Amino acid sequence: MSCWGVGLSENGWMTSKSFYEWVVNVFYPWLVKNNTDFPVVLFLDSHSSHSTLLLSEFCREKKIELITLLPNATHILQPLDVGLFRPLKISWSKAVKNWKFSNKGARIRREDFGNIMATAIKELDLKIVFANAFRATGLHSLTADGIDFEKYFKNTETTND
pLDDT at 43 over 70: yes
Kindly state whether residue 159 falls inside one of the protein's structural domains. no
Domain total for the chain? 2
Strand partners, 66: 42
Average pLDDT over residues 64-81: 78
Kindly state whether residue 104 falls inside one of the protein's structural domains. yes
Domain that holds residue 97: 74-150
Kindly state whether residue 33 falls inside one of the protein's structural domains. yes
Sign of CA dihedral 72, 75, 76, 78: positive
Residue after which a domain boundary falls, among 72, 105, 120: 72
Kindly state whether residue 158 falls inside one of the protein's structural domains. no
Kindly state whether residue 83 falls inside one of the protein's structural domains. yes
pLDDT of residue 78: 74
- Judge if 3 and 57 occupy the same domain: yes
- Judge if 64 and 47 occupy the same domain: yes
Lowest-confidence region among 5-9, 38-42, 47-51, 91-95: 5-9
Lowest-confidence region among 39-48, 75-84, 128-137: 75-84
- Judge if 129 and 141 occupy the same domain: yes
pLDDT of residue 87: 93
In the Cβ-directed half-sphere of 101, how many Cα atoms lie within 13 Å?
A: 6
Residue after which a domain boundary falls, among 72, 91, 123: 72
pLDDT of residue 159: 53
- Judge if 23 and 87 occupy the same domain: no
pLDDT at 160 over 60: no
pLDDT of residue 90: 95
Kindly state whether residue 156 falls inside one of the protein's structural domains. no
Average of per-residue pLDDT values in the chain: 84
Residue after which a domain boundary falls, among 21, 56, 72: 72
Q: What is the pLDDT of residues 106-158, one digit of tens each?
A: 999 989 999 999 999 999 999 999 888 888 877 766 666 666 666 656 555 55
Place 1 in a pLDDT band, splitting at 50, 70 and 90.
Answer: very low
pLDDT of residue 113: 92
- Judge if 60 and 83 occupy the same domain: no
